[in-house]
Amino acid sequence: MAIYSFWIFDRHCNCIFDREWTLKADSSSGTTNSKQNEDTAKLIYGMIYSLQSISRRISSSTNSVKTISTGKYRIHLLPTTTGIWFVLFSDLKQQDLSQVLQYLYGEIYVRYVARNMLSPVDFAESTNETRGQGFRKINNRNFIRAVDRFLGPMVSQL
Amino acid sequence: MAIKSLLIINKSGGLVYQRDFIPSPHGKMNSNEYLILAGTLHGVVAIASQLTPKALQVSSTQNLLPLPSQATATAANAANATNTANNGSTTALGGYGDGAGSGSGSGSAANSSPSAAAAATAVAAAAAAAPEHTVPYIPSLGMAANDSKPPGRPMGSYLAPDYFSDSFISWNKSGLKSIVTNDFSIFLYQSLTGVKFVLISTQQSTSNAALHLADNLLRKVYCLYSDYVMKNPFYSADMLIRSEPFDKKLHALVANL
């Protein structure tokens, strides 16, 4: 069992949170909200966006992608009706992490970001940040700590 | 699983073949939409291979340059443990890609029985062959029952009873393999020459077994392709496939599922 990275995208095509673990053996390694991951985040967003639009065209407009597998890793996806995507990269042994994503959304994001009076409601503050040019991230310390505490044990398990 | 549709995409991302097996309840997509679908899948395969997580990049460089002391230590551990079932975890931990030579060297150093050392090298060789990319053979998938076989040569240039009878290695090691949505799933099989076979099926299981099943089926479609498309003198490469025997055989393969 291994988890590689965790990403949150908002409805303005911006990455508002990223956490990537670089060493499987060490759950405190890696980067949080790194500037270097901006290009990767755009690639991930573009890939998921095009696959979502494919799946809506083949089936109904309410259909959405659950998992994407490649030869090396698997992506688990939880889209919410408010347009926020929760994206989790794991190895190929993880078949369904939808409950993990549901917990990250319902118990951690809602608790530390949505119910937080000091956190912005929308992470794009002006109209020129709404087309994917936004740079604001979730910097709430409690949120970051809760994500690490919850996902940390899953990073290193073999 | 029921198969909705099958597509073949050439190496430059163009759609060369598309066939529906179940009429879609949401209305048929037109051929232009299928072309867009093929082009998008082609692009996503390229993006997916670019997106290797950092943890995998780090561990792959570690496997290339293992410390010699560590490699021999894990090899000695593997030689001592005669239970090969337990060896899976040690081989995964140690940089074992080139551990076959050091395994035989440490076998004499650890003074263990020769049979245990041989078992350890066998496990190391199996680990070096990257078992994660091996697709197990699923017998008689999509094959006609023996009594209903038509006369003549029912399987083209392949000998009965099946196109192949061994597990095989997937060429698609880093690109996109499957997409599972709430309503259906898409499976991709890629050949070494860059031809992609895409299957849209109605099942939503995310298990690896479904992936293996689809790989087996698509490899059979690839066998049909090499028989009835590639051996057609009127077919020009990378153009639309218009071949009646290919259509017929494909329908028979899907109908037998």
> Taking a contact as any Cβ pair under 8 Å apart, which residues of chain A between 97 and 156 contact chain B?
none
> Which pLDDT does position B131 carry in this prediction?
62
pLDDT one-digit tens code per residue, B208-227 = 888 999 999 999 999 999 99
List domains and CATH numbers for chain B.
1-26+131-256 (3.30.450.70)
A55, A57, A58, A99, best to mutate vs chain B, most B CBs in 10 Å: A58
pLDDT one-digit tens code per residue, A35-54 = 999 999 999 999 999 999 99
Taking 70 as the pLDDT cut, the residues of chain A under it are 1, 157-158
User: Number of H helices and number of E strands within chain B?
Assistant: 8, 7
In the predicted structure, residue B101 carries a pLDDT above the cut 80: no
**Min distance A142 CA to chain B CA atoms (Å):** 25
Q: How far apart are CA B48 and CA B187, in angstroms?
A: 14
List domains and CATH numbers for chain A.
3-154 (3.30.450.70)
pLDDT one-digit tens code per residue, B175-211 = 899 999 998 999 999 999 999 999 999 888 888 888 9
ipTM: 0.89
> Which pLDDT does position B55 carry in this prediction?
86
In the predicted structure, residue B7 carries a pLDDT above the cut 50: yes
- Does A96 sit within 8 Å of B55, measured CB to CB? no
The confidence band for B150, taking pLDDT boundaries of 50, 70 and 90, is low
The confidence band for B155, taking pLDDT boundaries of 50, 70 and 90, is confident
- Average pLDDT for B60-88: 46
Render B11-29 in DSSP notation, one character per residue: TTS-EEEEEESS--TT-PP
> Which pLDDT does position B112 carry in this prediction?
41
Chain-wide mean pLDDT for chain B? 75
Render B80-113 in DSSP notation, one character per residue: H---HHHHHHHHHHS--TTHHHHHHHHHHHTT--
In the predicted structure, residue B78 carries a pLDDT above the cut 80: no
- Does B55 sit within 8 Å of A55, measured CB to CB? no
Q: Provide the edge-to-edge strand list for the sheet that holds A74-79.
A: A31-32, A15-20, A3-9, A85-90, A74-79, A65-70, B176-181, B185-190, B196-201, B3-9, B15-20
pTM value is 0.79
Lowest mean pLDDT among A99-113, B18-32, B95-109: B95-109
Check CB contact of A44 with chain B, cutoff 8 Å. yes
B120 three-state secondary structure: helix
Of A5, A46, A63, the CB nearest to B181: A63
The confidence band for B243, taking pLDDT boundaries of 50, 70 and 90, is very high
- Does B204 sit within 8 Å of A158, measured CB to CB? no
